[in-house]
Amino acid sequence: MVTAIVMIKAETGLVPETATSVAALDGVSEVYSVTGEWDLIAIARVPRHEDLADLIPGRLNKVHGVLRTETHTAFRAYSNVDLEAAFSLGLE
Q: What is the pLDDT of residues 12-61, one digit of tens each?
A: 999 999 999 999 999 999 999 999 999 999 999 999 999 999 999 999 99
Bridge partners, residue 73, by sequence? 4
What is the Cα–Cα distance from 90 to 72, expressed in whole angstroms? 25
Residues 6+ apart with CB under 8 A from 74: 2, 3, 4, 5
Q: Is 90 exposed, middle or buried (0-12, 13-18, 19+ CB in 10 A)?
A: exposed
- The verdict on pTM exceeding 0.85 is no
